[in-house]
Chain A
Amino acid sequence: MRLRYEFTIMDMGDEFAAVPVGEDASKFHGMLKMNAVSADILEQLKEDTDPATVHKYLKEKYPDSTDDEIGNALAPFLNQLLKENLLID
């Protein structure tokens, strides 16, 4: 799975914004606002990957977090991206 569109992720201080760029800006009229963990997830989804690989990446980046905590951050965000039709297999 990977993102359907190209995004640039902007650090806005205590939150992040993902803005479509290039030709995709005309296909997706909007932007995404998210926290730092979701921004990390989105960054991973720029390349083809799978949930287990992203989970492993987050586990390495946030070693103090439990598997449940990472799962609770990852699953809803992936579901939201699927719901918004922003992921492709």
Chain B
Amino acid sequence: MIFNISVAGINIGIESIYDAVYEMCSKYITDSEPDFVVSVTGSDIDFERQKSISEAKYEGRPCYNYAPEYLETLAVYRKIATGLLYYEAFLMHGSAVALDGKAYVFTAPSGVGKTTHTGFWLAKYPDAFVINGDKPIIRFINDRVFVCGTPWSGKEQINTNAILPLKAVCVLFRGEENLIEPIEFKRIFPLVLGQIYRPSDRTAAEKTLSLLKKFGESVEFYTMNCNLDPDAARVAKEGMNYE
């Protein structure tokens, strides 16, 4: 299939083998001319299969036999994320939630509770919504940092076709009490680095690191110890909006 989507304000042409990518991207389809085009081949799908196997081995979890349709969606996003680097944008693993015209990104290693915490925000604040529950795009526009919705949003597939200014990034940890505090980027850098997509291509990887450094200089960072009390949402919001 050949179609165009708009993500992070950039028009992207997609040439896919299967229909699954098109169906996943339905909220992002555009008729506008693409700024760049990504094409997927069988070898790209094989690469994703091998990568998923090696990652499962490295993380000590079972290897799943993913369908090629799903692996193609990963291949497409990998190519899009690499292409977007040249539009001052990068992919960050995290859950991005919006409230009052501002975006907040919660990031953490898998299993800490990003989705649960985001759920607390949706329950506490009726106007809140999820921009992307797993893999938002971060983009610099006129030196301001924005969070952008994309169709690729993890197993829950929760996303909104929206672009909002980023208020803060919060790295979540499990804790007994809900406690949030600001942190210097250099202190949290190794953890944030692990949540950024870094292409294997050296030039693209260096571009990513350059954007990450700029990101660190432009954004407020927090760490939060959180438990399963829904009040965690209030603690997080107030902590990141303390004047």
Contacts and interface: CB of A to CB of B under 8 A. Distances in A.
A23 B200 contact: yes
Nearest to B205: A21
A10 interface: yes
B198 interface: yes
A8 B198 CA distance: 12
A22 interface: yes
Interface stretch (B70-78, B152-160, B185-193, B225-233): B185-193
B213 interface: yes
A88 interface: no
Interface string A23-37: 101100111010000
A29 B57 CA distance: 14
B193 A19 contact: yes
Interface of B: 54, 58, 185-186, 189-190, 193, 198, 200-202, 205-206, 209, 213, 216
Nearest to A22: B202
A50 to B, nearest CB: 26
A52 interface: no
A29 B200 CA distance: 13
Interface in A16-70: 17, 19, 21-23, 25-26, 29-31, 33
B143 to A, nearest CB: 19
